Amino acid sequence: MKQINTEKYNIYLGNDASAALHSFFSETAYSSLFILADEHTKKSCLPKIKRYLPALRNARVIVIKSGEKNKTIQTCIKIWDELSKQNADRRSLLINLGGGVITDMGGFAASTFKRGIDFVNFPTTLLAQVDASIGGKTGVDFNQFKNQVGLFAFPKAVFVIPAFLKTLSKRELLSGFAEVIKHGLISDLHYWKKIKSTNPLHTKNWEKVILKSIEIKNSIVSADAYEEGIRKYLNFGHTIGHAVESSSLKSKKPLLHGEAIATGMICEAYLSHKYCGLKTQELNEIIATITAAFHPKPIPYPADKLIERMYQDKKNNNSEINFSLLSAIGKAEINNFCNKSLIEESIIFFNSLYQ
Ligand SMILES: NC(=O)c1ccc[n+]([C@@H]2O[C@H](COP(=O)([O-])OP(=O)(O)OC[C@H]3O[C@@H](n4cnc5c(N)ncnc54)[C@H](O)[C@@H]3O)[C@@H](O)[C@H]2O)c1
Ligand SMILES: [Zn+2]
């Protein structure tokens, strides 16, 4: 079991989680335990954590419907309602057992209930293990915009158990791999070289990758928890990616978060080339790696509608669209304000690759 310490909480990584769990729960005295799961993690992951820590057999389980479309304030109301009905008090603990939807929304629901109760994360998707469960960003989507309502709130601990990934679908696994790619691109050329030659669908042992990604995310967040500076690196691919993701939410087959971010990273690598000096050869390397993993399709939404969405994105100041870009692989640059025509050009460029 590896332990990664942050200023506010510890992250435990490994399949041999029992000792860390026992020690955490024996050192804390909660009045009651609640587990937040969705229908998939209830089936695939809940029995496993009860085996790790038999004390969890007495926890009350709140089950919500899976999927990004349920990451809403309405679902939070259901969570708050269940907590109230089951007499949760300020010394109760919420255990988030699931992917990024559960850890984002559970963290938000816990830290607003009765002015804040403790929560811990058990991330069960690759995406949540390498990214979403760490760093303290919690929240829900609102009016079809991503993460519009939320707060920074830190878990008491994060237990990352790679064995949970065994039941995850290939599509979901790949979605998480987009954040792994992002971590290499924004901060570590050596890691990027490893990732480039990794086939996520043939990887059996994820622990090393998860550890490296956690270390990268954690060091960025530790230096800038509230996103005043370098935490913005983590937004690479997310300005255009979020616009594509939220546009797709209403469609019959919405994109997964990582799929939208893969698209966003190619568009924003193009912006990086035009605006930040990313070399042609590195742009081509990024395109080739993402294309091989994701087989992207052209973006089916008009560029002007996507740009309108980007204006609404919370990452923008004074109505300018703020991008985190790359000046080279492994080197991110924050606060790049690209104009509309360049953004449109990046979308046209993306579509031309996949006609
Ligand atoms: N807070 C942050 O810093 C941060 C960072 C990145 C992403 N996010 C957010 O994370 C969300 C995406 O997270 P996600 O990709 O984990 O999606 P998700 O939570 O919707 O999980 C994906 C699917 O996998 C299922 N699932 C989860 N674990 C499983 C398992 N072990 N076995 C079988 N099925 C399982 C879930 O039920 C769901 O259907 C987005 O809302 C995104 O905005 C947040
Ligand atoms: Zn993301």
Q: Average pLDDT of each block of 10 consecutive residues along the chain (355 residues)?
A: 94 93 91 98 96 91 97 98 98 98 98 98 98 97 92 98 97 98 97 94 93 97 96 97 94 95 98 98 98 96 95 68 97 95 97 95
pLDDT at 312: 79
Ligand at minimal distance from the CA of 245 is 1
Q: Which residues line ligand 1 (CB under 6 A)?
A: 38, 40-41, 44-45, 66-68, 71, 98-102, 104, 124-125, 127-128, 131-132, 135, 137, 146-147, 164, 167-168, 172, 175, 257
Residue 219 confidence (pLDDT): 96
What is the identity of the amino acid at 244?
A: V
Rounded Cα distance, 192 and 335, in Å: 23
CA–CA gap between residue 128 and residue 99 (Å, rounded): 5
Give the tokens for residue 318: 């004074």
Contact between 239 and 313 under an 8 Å Cβ cutoff? The reply is: yes
> What pLDDT sits at residue 247?
94
pLDDT tens figures, 185-208: 999 999 999 999 999 999 988 999
Tell the residue nearest (CA) to atom 10 of ligand 1: 100
- Strands, DSSP E only, in the chain? 2-5, 10-13, 32-38, 60-64, 92-98, 118-123, 137-142, 145-152, 157-160, 322-328, 331-337
The predicted-structure confidence for 42-98, as pLDDT tens digits, reads as follows 999 999 999 989 889 999 999 999 999 999 999 999 999 999 999 999 999 999 999
